[in-house]
Chains A and B, each alone.
Chain A
Amino acid sequence: MRRIFVYINSLLFCLTVITTSAQKKKQIVMPPDSTKWMNGFTVHADLGALAIPSLSNNVLYSMEGGLQLDLKHKIFPTIELGLAGANKVTPDNSVFKTNGLFERIGVDFNLRKKKPDSKPTNNLFIAGVRLGTSHFSYNVTNVAVTDEYWGGSQILNFTNQATTKVWYEFVVGVQVEVIKNFYMGWTIRNKNLISQDTPGKVAPWYIPGFGQNNGANWGFNYTLGYHFWPQKKQLKNTKVSSVQEIKNQINKK
């Protein structure tokens, strides 16, 4: 009997706490979001790609840039364009060579939530998706075929091979406003190939914008960008106030 009494008491206490906290939550009133839908755009270049030739012993190169719209400082439709290529020589002296354009379209979302009474900021923690495509041609040359038993050898060349590859990417990263309207940031990407190689066809070793033809790849971008036409002073008026604060301000007046 005593246990039942303690149980009921504790249950009532819990309910009281929950109700009180719910009431407290209700008292917080967010003012209407004053951020405009169209909040300018950022043009950025991938500086990380400049390190690719030295990291790959001059086998690979890549250049890319992008344009990112700022919608309500929450949604960022993005288009990225680039040029990449490879000149790979294997230990058997077979050569793979390609140069091609690639493009990616997608959208990023700002995952950083405004905390009450926090300082307004333009820094972003983003997550998004991309759909990438590249139509390119490539050569695989000097492929030696030797017959170890019967003797004899031949050199095969597969030139002017053309293909279109499509892939999707999951992107996470950060963007920080380092100087007014100048943004620096990085993204890490998980890339997954949608287009499969046709069996028997000479498959490309490298896909511009995707990387080595492995089915899945990781990518990294280190970007520097400039934000054009940002919404002026939009963030300074978004401080969150409670009902009590508003009442106090009215009483003072």
Chain B
Amino acid sequence: MKKAIFILLIFLSLLNVSCVTDDTCTQTRYVKLTAGFYHVNYNDTTKVYSISSLSFDSLTVRGVKLNPSTNQYLLVDSILYNNSKNRLSSINLPLNNVAPQSKFKINFNAVIDTLTIYHSNINDYLSLECGCIITHAIDSAKITNHYIDSVRIINHDVNTLNAENIRLYK
């Protein structure tokens, strides 16, 4: 009988071990497209093209959203970069999770270009605590050529890895 009481005591002490589980998400949920700015130089003497990184002192970036009722594009209330003075050589842009295209108005000082990204959205379930994030696969990209000359896709997968996805060439 003493042995039974001993076993019961050990069992009761182990019952004190908490069974409560942690509900905090420790994984990154930050999904943004990264666009880098580059300048293409042509050397007349050597006749060779070279590419160098370009940075801007004054940059304003804002999303442009289609209003389905009026079928007109409207600026999103929140401004992504507001006359940024940080000498930016790349920008991070959130793509639309529920639509297949995302449009951004980029102000290079006084010159405005509109960048349009066509993409597919992918549900990426992380865990019960972290829920689901939407990653994207870029299908194509285009830009009005007021300041920027061209756009090139480097990496089609837009996910949490924060790799450079597109390059904007001046």
Taking a contact as CB atoms under 8 Å apart, the answer to whether A94 and B128 are in contact is yes
* Known contacts A90-B23, A149-B63, A203-B125: A176-B132 contact under CB 8 Å: no
What's the minimum C-beta distance from B52 to chain A, rounded to whole angstroms? 31
Report the interface size for chain A: residues with CB under 8 A from the other chain: 42
Task: State whether the Cβ of A55 lies closer than 8 Å to any Cβ in chain B.
Answer: yes
CA–CA, A185 to B8, complex, Å?
A: 9
Q: Mark B1-22, 1 if CB is under 8 A from A, else 0.
A: 1011001001100110111110
* Known contacts A90-B23, A178-B3: A145-B127 contact under CB 8 Å: no
CA–CA, A48 to B76, complex, Å?
A: 57
Residues in B whose Cβ lies below 8 Å from that of A90: 23, 128-129, 131
Taking a contact as CB atoms under 8 Å apart, the answer to whether B98 and A88 are in contact is no
Which chain B residue has the least Cβ–Cβ distance from A213? Answer: B127
Taking a contact as CB atoms under 8 Å apart, the answer to whether B125 and A202 are in contact is yes
Task: State whether the Cβ of A205 lies closer than 8 Å to any Cβ in chain B.
Answer: yes
Taking a contact as CB atoms under 8 Å apart, the answer to whether B3 and A52 are in contact is no
Which chain B residue has the least Cβ–Cβ distance from A221? Answer: B11
Taking a contact as CB atoms under 8 Å apart, the answer to whether A147 and B131 are in contact is no
In the complex, the number of residue pairs spanning A and B with C-beta atoms less than 8 Å apart equals: 93
What's the minimum C-beta distance from B54 to chain A, rounded to whole angstroms? 25
Residues in A whose Cβ lies below 8 Å from that of B124: 200
CA–CA, A44 to B142, complex, Å?
A: 69
Taking a contact as CB atoms under 8 Å apart, the answer to whether A55 and B125 are in contact is no
What's the minimum C-beta distance from B16 to chain A, rounded to whole angstroms? 10
B interface, by DSSP: helix, strand, loop or mixed? Answer: mixed
Taking a contact as CB atoms under 8 Å apart, the answer to whether A145 and B65 are in contact is no
CA–CA, A152 to B123, complex, Å?
A: 15
* Known contacts A60-B19, A178-B4, A184-B7: A147-B123 contact under CB 8 Å: no
Taking a contact as CB atoms under 8 Å apart, the answer to whether A186 and B128 are in contact is no
Taking a contact as CB atoms under 8 Å apart, the answer to whether B97 and A152 are in contact is yes
* Known contacts A55-B19, A123-B3, A186-B7: A152-B98 contact under CB 8 Å: yes
Task: State whether the Cβ of B96 lies closer than 8 Å to any Cβ in chain A.
Answer: yes
Considering the complex, which residues of chain B in the window 58-90 have a beta carbon less than 8 Å from any beta carbon of chain A?
63, 65, 76, 78, 80
CA–CA, A178 to B2, complex, Å?
A: 9
Residues in B whose Cβ lies below 8 Å from that of A148: 94
Residues in A whose Cβ lies below 8 Å from that of B102: 150
Taking a contact as CB atoms under 8 Å apart, the answer to whether B19 and A145 are in contact is no
Taking a contact as CB atoms under 8 Å apart, the answer to whether A145 and B10 are in contact is no
Q: Mark A89-101, 1 if CB is under 8 A from B, else 0.
A: 0111010100000
Task: State whether the Cβ of A125 lies closer than 8 Å to any Cβ in chain B.
Answer: no
Q: Mark B91-121, 1 if CB is under 8 A from A, else 0.
A: 0001011110010000000000000000000
Residues in A whose Cβ lies below 8 Å from that of B125: 140, 143, 156, 158, 200-203
* Known contacts A88-B128, A212-B21: A176-B99 contact under CB 8 Å: no
* Known contacts A90-B129, A145-B132, A154-B98: A185-B7 contact under CB 8 Å: yes
- 23 interchain pairs, CB-CB under 8 A: A52-B19, A55-B15, A56-B20, A92-B131, A123-B3, A140-B125, A143-B131, A143-B132, A144-B131, A145-B131, A145-B134, A147-B94, A149-B76, A150-B65, A150-B94, A150-B97, A152-B98, A178-B1, A184-B3, A184-B4, A185-B7, A200-B125, A220-B17
